[in-house]
Structure 1
Amino acid sequence: MKRALVAFALLMAGTPALAQQAYDLTAATPYSDTAGAGWEDAQRWSVKQAPGNYRVTLTVTGPARISVLAESRRLMLEDVTVPAGETSRPSFIVNVRDTALAPPERNAPGGQHVRISAGEQAGLNWDDRLTLEFLSDRAAIRAISVEPVTVPTLYLMGDSTVTDQSSDPAASWGQMLPRFMTGDIAVANHAWSGETLKSSVTNYRLAKVLALLRPGDFVAIQYGHNDQKQQWPQTYVAAGSTYDAWLATYIAEVRLRGATPILINSPERRNYDDAGRIVPSHRDYPAAVRRVAEQQDVPFVELTDATIAFYEALGPEQAAKGFADEGRDRTHHNTYGAYQLARIVAAGMGDVPGLGGHVAAPFRQYDPADPPQPESFTLPPSIVRANTQQAGS
């Protein structure tokens, strides 16, 4: 392993390789910028990489039963079982990014970097490394290879119900989605807590995605939780007028670059009436997304109605087990809840032309009115744990 890491460092002088690189994980080599790869802690391993999409292939010896997260807790592999005496080489695609934007011309408006929050600066999504976390005995992972690949990318844009939540048990559907895709597409989650259609423009998040888009890519757009907040006058937009217009603008920008936009309406909040039915909280916004999708002939995923069916099927007591802060939070989910929402979204994406084939076949159907119970969910916890999720929607 030392020889590979030294060669890697000397050849690339701190920049990532342009061909497949293999790493021996049997040694507990700590990460260093000089080596460019190594263990961050007991369960997380990193390699320095430039922005792009990478195929990661693991060499796993049995007996083993592993799940793998990437970057800020994106679920890549779940419950891969390797019998004793056998070797398996599962692979998946990880997207790596940075905040850099092409500098605008002199005196032209714009920025040179995405405006990320303090929480993001401390996270793993915008750094110079590809990081993996093994939810298992790491000794079963004998080696890793990392190879740059050219594959379609599915970009996600939205708020805290979409973003990669940084600490277990909080989670959102966007970080669970890669697990349900095939190994020939990347998922790049650019959503963040508190974001709106307007703020994603002023923070240059939309600019970043548009700069990266290539023909054949996809952009899933889910805003609404924060856009409807009139107490946020700088980013408030009204359903039926400005909200619709901003959605149409995003659609036009994505299509201009040869990519496919997908609209998703917001997951509902968990508020029940006395009869055990969900009380809608999003007013006219979900209907506005449906209307814009129809008017613009854009693929659409129905998440509002699906989450209502999901919560009502579970009932008040069980549904609370799918939410953050031990159910006290009625908007944000935990790993079980986010996993089920991702199943809903994946099934909806299974009907999107060009994208449906990238949804793994077993996950193209899902009935939110007949969900698995929380007690059946067995994903091991992440080593990165906290008592609270990211603030805001």
Structure 2
Amino acid sequence: MFRLAFFGILSLGVTTVMAQSYRFDFGAGPVARGYTKVTPEMQYTPERGYGFLPGSPVQGLYAVRYIRDYVTSTQPFFFSVKLPEGTYDVKLLLGDEKDVSYTTVKAENRRLMLEKVETKPRKFVWKTFTVNVRTARITDTDSVRLKPREKDYFQWDDQLTFEFTDVLPKVAALEIRPNTKAQTIYLAGNSTVVDQAQEPYAAWGQMIPRFFKPEKIVVANHAESGESLRSFLAEKRLAKILSVIKPNDYLFIEFAHNDQKQNDLQPFVGYKDLLKQYIKAVREKGAKPVLVTSMHRRNFDQQGRIINTLGDFPEAMRQTAKEENVPLIDLNAMSKTLWEALGPQDSEKAFVHVAAGTLPGVTKDIHDNTHFSNYGAYLLVQCVISGIKAAQLDIASELTEDTPAFDPARPTSYERWKFPASPFIKNVKPDGN
């Protein structure tokens, strides 16, 4: 319930409106022609349809030249715009007339869109990313069966919410325009894939948008904690995806952690049958299924080797991929290499291991060997990207030029990796294990 706790109650009724474009000019200076002026005290209301969310002090700076004034804060700050479901290109002007700036941008539930954009004094830069906005509605009479906690998430409402963060974030202008042509990568999975709403948890699905070129590719992450192939169907999450997926779009499918707990579901029978049901449904829409084997839990033997806790489920998915001629990303195999390369001690930093008192509200030690920290999620998404390249998917050509080459046997150390955390914190473990 982080939205209620952090921002107070916001009444967000879903509206049916035509997608439209916006141009916002932030700061205390004069408004640029064709833009809507946004000053720090302008908080979001449904009637206005845009504004800052309460919680962080936003400062507006003045500049002599139009559109070169900006807003900033010493803490992460949030700006939200009321928008109908769809895909949008977002263009940001970042920088400062007098000083440097470092800005990281997350959207909706902490989806990483831009990472540590640096600008020099008197240098401004336009940066673009593409983001998906969705609601739970499938038809006039049918909707996704959301869990109670999801109703307070940023990503099921009628708003596009931005989190601006890093050492010196400075946002001068923002433009939003609809994009009806982008190829969409839909994600179906559990807590290891979902856009985790709160620190210290993260998953690879919320890291991957940052690595695709804007305007061409958009990621729509429909994964949710605690899900299995069956429950994803029963809650109509797959039905939601099928209602909007287009020919040539992708659906990445990663399930196993919760499926293996169902006593009547066998890897080579029921599990494979369900996978084939997903594959068939996606292909009937002219879209492309991709199977992703589930990563290993952090479970080492005395020799520092990973113990398989997922049984035959990863192998059943490998077999299904061959039988159905579906591309496979073997995250299970890559994660074994990755965790063993880090070792029993350093791998703790990739998972949620937090000492009591080190984060607000965390009164007991957390030792979670299933769910990931930001660091672990960032390493895993690089494995997924390696799998995209190895499978020769056409979207590999749309990866950003700064996407690093990655070898899971030689991961970046935690000490050399920097990432700004979000202000939302919970000490409740996500559903699933």
Q: Same fold (TM over 0.5)?
A: yes
1:267 to 295, 311, 325: 295
Contact 2:102–2:168 (8 Å) recurs in 1: no
Which residue of structure 2 aligns with residue 147 of structure 1? 177
The CA distance in 1 between the partners of 2:19 and 2:106, in whole Å, is: 24
The CA distance in 1 between the partners of 2:138 and 2:16, in whole Å, is: 18
What is the DSSP-based 3-state SS (H/G/I as helix, E as strand, rest coil) of the residue aligned with 1:310? helix
Which residue of structure 2 aligns with residue 392 of structure 1? 432
The 5 A counterparts of 1:52-67 are 52-62=86-96, 63-67=100-104
Compute the displacement of 1:98 (Å): 0.4
The CA distance in 2 between the partners of 1:362 and 1:312, in whole Å, is: 26
1:298 aligns with 2:329: no
The 5 A counterparts of 1:6-45 are 18-26=19-27, 27-28=39-40, 29-41=42-54, 42=56, 43-45=77-79
Compute the displacement of 1:130 (Å): 0.1
Alignment TM-score, normalising by the size of structure 2: 0.82
Amino acid at match of 1:71: E
Cα separation, partners in 2 of 1:139 and 1:269, compared to 1, 3 Å: closer
The 5 A counterparts of 1:1-393 are 18-26=19-27, 27-28=39-40, 29-41=42-54, 42=56, 43-62=77-96, 63-103=100-140, 112-136=142-166, 140-150=170-180, 151-183=182-214, 184-230=216-262, 233=263, 236-326=264-354, 328-350=367-389, 351-363=391-403, 365-393=405-433
Compute the displacement of 1:23 (Å): 1.0
Moved more, 353-362 or 161-170: 353-362
The CA distance in 2 between the partners of 1:198 and 1:257, in whole Å, is: 20
Compute the displacement of 1:180 (Å): 1.3
Moved more, 133-142 or 248-257: 133-142
Cα separation, partners in 2 of 1:39 and 1:18, compared to 1, 3 Å: same
Compute the displacement of 1:324 (Å): 1.4
Compute the displacement of 1:138 (Å): 7.2
The CA distance in 2 between the partners of 1:35 and 1:347, in whole Å, is: 44
Amino acid at match of 1:130: L
The one-character-per-residue Cα deviations of 1:221-265 (angstroms, maximum 9, x if unpaired) are: 0011111113xx5xx521111111110110011011010100000
Compute the displacement of 1:392 (Å): 1.8
RMSD, matched Cα: 1.7
Compute the displacement of 1:279 (Å): 0.6
Amino acid at match of 2:367: R
Compute the displacement of 1:25 (Å): 2.1
Amino acid at match of 2:198: S
Larger relative contact order (CA 8 Å, sep ≥ 6): 1
Considering fraction of residues, name the structure with more strand: 2
What is the DSSP-based 3-state SS (H/G/I as helix, E as strand, rest coil) of the residue aligned with 2:219? strand
**Structure 1 gap ranges (5+):** 1-12, 104-110
Cα separation, partners in 2 of 1:323 and 1:272, compared to 1, 3 Å: same
**Structure 2 gap ranges (5+):** 1-13, 28-38, 57-76, 355-365
The CA distance in 1 between the partners of 2:401 and 2:282, in whole Å, is: 27
The CA distance in 2 between the partners of 1:222 and 1:96, in whole Å, is: 22
State the identity as a percent. Answer: 36
Amino acid at match of 2:385: A
May I ask how many residue pairs the two structures share in their alignment?
370
Cα separation, partners in 2 of 1:144 and 1:137, compared to 1, 3 Å: farther
Compute the displacement of 1:295 (Å): 1.1
Contact 1:37–1:48 (8 Å) recurs in 2: yes
Which residue of structure 2 aligns with residue 108 of structure 1? none
Compute the displacement of 1:273 (Å): 0.5
